[in-house]
Amino acid sequence: MAVRALQLPLSYRAGAGSGLVLDARPFAVGLTFLAVLALFLLSGQMLSLIGIPYDGKGGSQLLKIHPATYLAVLSLVAWVAAGGGVTAFLGRSWRESPGLLVLLLAIGLLAFQVIFVQKTPLSQIADNFVLTACLFVGLTRLGAGEMRRLALVVQAILVVNSFLGYAEVLGGFRLTPLYVNGALLDWDWRATALLGHPLMNAMTTAVCLVSLALGAGPFGRRTRLALVLFHFGALFFFGGRTAIVLSAATLLAIAALSGARLLLGRRFPLAGAAAAVLVATLLVVGVVLIVDGGLIDRLIRRFIDDDGSAMARVAMLSVFRGMSWPEVVFGPDVATVMAMLPKIGTPLAIESAYVGFVAYYGGFVTLFFLMGLAAFISELFRRFGTASLVPLGIYLLMSTTTSSFSTKSLELGLLVVVVMTAFASRPQSSRGPSPSC
């Protein structure tokens, strides 16, 4: 075993034109794993904390691109080499993942708009979309055992992330400071945990818990139930109002469907019933502790007083008043739009990915890019079935209330990794469309 562990991925082939052959697949798998780890463990706030001006002002433009993107691009090169070259890669993608090729064409159009028309940095396209496409390529080429191991790693990281959410708020500390556009938000009580921004934590956690509730993930039923409740509690510490509401509505719908099946005579194991009673008891105790700690009061205040967030979402539409029709259709000057935001009450960003995309890139590019994104989402649906539409739909709904992929963000990459690892690693008995929790 020790000798095999030290062997390099090399082989020798005799014959004309053959010789020392390098097997690129182990490198591709390793780079895919490293890209996922960097995505989850190196938030923008963490990079700033260790001295890399990822979100801050100054520094090289190369430092504005996330390390996960570099690793994902390298993994793509390795996967192309392992698959027999560019022609073989494109042929396989056309047969197996046509939605990916449509997304790549949309990314190409967007890159043309950014480079030649607007002359703005490419970091937003790289971290939002190039990273997502490269991760998709790598994840679709992993074997079943590799995917299960990666799924376990991702789920373990998300458990630690939710635990940090609890610990930060209850303990009164933060793993990383929360900076937005260089300003420290020391008044914000929400947890930052591993993923950095509270809303990014809320989105990723909501997608994870809903996927688990629908039977995805490399766990049995009781483990999934415990994780669903654990992650749902963490949402209150991340403070994502939309995530809380959408997750609660989804869980209630799943519970209602399961209850209806029980009323129709479906049998259930005694051990499962005992576990449900135990979890419910622990949940009640947890709620009492949370209320006693004052978190509910802060969360209620967040729903009642949103610091002008709702008004900002109404005011953001006025960004188009200062634009001519050609600018609305083909894209305005981005610097002008950014200068206009403080005047309309949205100093940081337009709080809707779809409105923001039109404002930053123009309606023409937005239309074609959303078509590419829809083709890519349909690719995930085709691979994983109807159940995968629920977490994907939650993300798309949440994107209507946050800047999401209209600004530099890792959300799409996180979404793809969580959904693909969860649904690709679910037990064989849970691969039907019906929920199992």
Query: Which position has the higher pLDDT, 265 or 378?
Result: 378
C-alpha torsion sign, points 123, 128, 228, 158: negative
pLDDT of residue 1: 39
Q: Which of 186-190, 264-268, 351-355 has the lowest mean pLDDT?
A: 264-268
Give residue 401's pLDDT band: very low, low, confident or very high (50, 70, 90): confident
pLDDT in tens, 356-374: 888 888 889 999 999 999 9
pLDDT over 90 at 287, yes or no: no
pLDDT of residue 3: 39
pLDDT of residue 4: 41
Provide the percentage of residues in the chain whose pLDDT is more than 90.
43
pLDDT of residue 315: 58
Rounded to an integer, the average pLDDT of 273-280 is: 54
pLDDT of residue 202: 94
Give residue 351's pLDDT band: very low, low, confident or very high (50, 70, 90): confident
Query: Which position has the higher pLDDT, 209 or 343?
Result: 209
The rounded mean pLDDT for the chain is 81
pLDDT of residue 260: 72
pLDDT over 70 at 6, yes or no: no
Task: Give φ, ψ of 139 to 5 degrees.
Answer: -65, -35
Query: Which position has the higher pLDDT, 377 or 15?
Result: 377
Instruction: Give yes or no for a contact between 74 and 82, defined as CB atoms under 8 angstroms apart.
Output: no
pLDDT of residue 12: 47
pLDDT over 50 at 436, yes or no: no
Which residues on neighbouring strands pair with residue 183, listed in sequence order? 180
Provide the percentage of residues in the chain whose pLDDT is more than 70.
76
pTM for the model: 0.84
Which residues on neighbouring strands pair with residue 179, listed in sequence order? 184
pLDDT over 80 at 252, yes or no: yes
pLDDT over 70 at 130, yes or no: yes
pLDDT of residue 433: 44
pLDDT of residue 209: 95
Query: Which position has the higher pLDDT, 437 or 366?
Result: 366
Rounded to an integer, the average pLDDT of 172-177 is: 86
Task: Give φ, ψ of 70 to 5 degrees.
Answer: -60, -45
Query: Which position has the higher pLDDT, 209 or 272?
Result: 209
pLDDT of residue 257: 79
Rounded to an integer, the average pLDDT of 299-315 is: 53
Distance CA 92, CA 141 (A): 11
pLDDT in tens, 11-69: 445 454 555 567 889 999 999 999 999 999 999 889 988 888 888 777 788 999 999 99
pLDDT in tens, 316-338: 666 777 787 888 888 777 777 77
pLDDT of residue 331: 79
pLDDT over 70 at 181, yes or no: no
